[in-house]
Chains A and B, each alone.
Chain A
Amino acid sequence: MPKATVTFEDIGVTVTVPAGTRLIEVSEKVGAGITYGCREGECCTCLTKVISGHEHLAAPSVLEDQVLKDNLAPRHHRLACQAQLLGGTIVVKPA
């Protein structure tokens, strides 16, 4: 099964996950500081800074794009409840 590797910089943990896993699922399990509210891509609570490897995340949906825009999210920021890890190595931390 294809894998991805994600590092949560705020707690110093790297996790190997099956490709397709959403970032929030991993963050929640390891207790990183990326937290969530609605879990449906609306509230922007789980805004996450992608320090590197943003190209290894599935492209944002129209909904996620709009929410990021409405909340003035800087470049290379994603919603952890929406972003799927596709492969490679990704490094993130709470926005």
Chain B
Amino acid sequence: MPVAVRPDTAVAVAPGVHWVGALDPAMRSFDIILRTANGTSYNAYVVRGSEGVAVIDTVKANFSADFFARLETVADYDKITVIVLNHLEPDHSGALPELLHRAPKARLYISHQAQTMLKGLLDWKTVKDRVVTVGTGDEVSLGDRTLRFLNTPYLHWPDTQCTWLEEEGVLFSGDFLGCHYCDPRLFNDAVGDFRFSFEYYYAHIMRPFREHVREALDLIEPLPLHVIAPAHGPILRDDPADYVRRYRALSSSSLHSINTKTLLVFYISAYGATRRMAEAVAAGAEESGEVRVSLYDIEGSEPQPFVDLIEEADALLFGSPTINGDAVKPVWDLLSSLTMVDVKGKLGAAFGSYGWSGEAVPMIEDRLRRLKLRVPVPGVKARLSPTEDEFAACRELGRQTALHLLGRAEHRTIDMASLA
């Protein structure tokens, strides 16, 4: 078994490349949304060239002492000419202010999109002359080595990028292809079984951005990878391309793909009124005969299988009664799960029965808009037992939503004063 990391010691990753990060084995939850049974690591790296030294990423602020101790074993501050931050989240930028102070000759290389965030982290006036924004195709020379930048936004912030050291085939991938798994043996062929952590990290951090994952993979797959050096978790030196292939598989459709547009009607019903409205919505949606329509009782499942369905669907309609001035909890449980997937631009709508006030429908519509769905067809509310006219309105809601999906909705001209 390889020797584990010792305090105050950098670890060679490739010729002229060292890990100078920090281990956080006690971490048990990360960014509130992630459980971390094995803790995590904050990976930072040093690349030494004939005419300069680069530091790639830093660590969470309270681990700065470990980072600087390791850094000092492989680099003099006066020789550091380049600092790259692939991602500005505080767990990677925590030691940046001190590093900029200690390495006065260094310039900071960040993505174009990172500049706005950097202004929130540092006193912009004091650093702006040292900042270089870069994108795909840009590079910085260290003499006999060159760092090339890949603009890979939204993995998982707008600012994220990857950095490629061609001479050694090392990809510094930031959070991409990383995971929360702390093991002092550092390398994927030496640490314990971290497959679950790798997949869990993808599911919670990268999955909402799978379109951007695929775009990044298009840039990364052609590279002759020897090592993937992510910002968290094991360094992937044994068959790194295998992890790239796994991301490609994970970011492909989670369900067997079908060619027709899909419209999902979710409902929950106390006395059957909202259920019957849902059936009318579904019947209306089916009138075109060209949309695959499905009806689901939310009470019949945990949210997760529905989330998988929703990720692949084109239109989502939610039916909820109003109880105590609100949509009911199972509806909110499902709607609050949708941040795990990309729903931007899908079509949404709401409907439901109510007793005296009927807040559920507009509240669901608001939530759908904030999730960045389009909500072009006004929802339908019905007091207690729906009338024939209200059932007709439900059918029309389904029909119009299906027509929008098919690109055949009639163009409407309205005055803003008529909008609620």
Contact = CB atoms under 8 A, between A and B. Distances in A.
A15 interface: yes
Interface in A34-71: 35, 42, 44-45, 67, 70-71
Contacts of B410: 12
B414 to A, nearest CB: 6
Of the candidates B369, B377, B416, the one having the most CB atoms from chain A within 10 angstroms of its own CB is B416
Interface string B59-92: 0000000000000000000000000000000000
A14 B414 CA distance: 6
A11 B416 contact: no
B6 interface: no
A28 B369 contact: yes
Contacts, number: 74
A35 B366 CA distance: 11
Interface in A53-95: 67, 70-72, 94
Contacts of A12: 376, 404, 409-412
A10 B404 CA distance: 9
A35 B369 CA distance: 7
A16 B376 contact: no
B416 A21 contact: yes
A17 to B, nearest CB: 4
A35 B416 contact: no
B97 interface: no
A11 to B, nearest CB: 4
Contacts of A29: 416, 419-420
Contacts of A33: 344-345, 372-374
A86 B172 CA distance: 48
Interface in B387-420: 404, 409-416, 419-420
Nearest to B372: A35
Given A31-B365, A94-B345, A16 B415 contact: yes
B212 interface: no
A14 B412 contact: yes
A9 B157 CA distance: 28
A87 B414 CA distance: 16
Contact of B374 (A16, A32, A44): A32
B412 A35 contact: no
B115 interface: yes
Contacts of B369: 28, 31, 35
B416 A16 contact: yes
Contacts of A10: 374
Contact of B112 (A11, A18, A35, A72): A72
Contacts of B416: 15-18, 21, 26, 29
Interface in B81-114: 112-113
B409 A11 contact: yes
A70 B113 CA distance: 6
Contacts of B374: 10-11, 31-33
Contacts of A35: 344, 369-370, 372
Contacts of B348: 31
Contacts of B372: 33, 35, 45
Nearest to A6: B416
B253 interface: no
Nearest to A26: B416
B375 interface: yes
Of the candidates A12, A14, A18, the one having the most CB atoms from chain B within 10 angstroms of its own CB is A12
Which 9 A-B pairs rank lowest in CB-CB distance, beginning with the nearest?
A: A31-B375, A11-B376, A35-B372, A29-B419, A33-B374, A17-B416, A14-B413, A12-B411, A31-B376
Interface of A: 10-18, 21, 26, 28-33, 35, 42, 44-45, 67, 70-72, 94
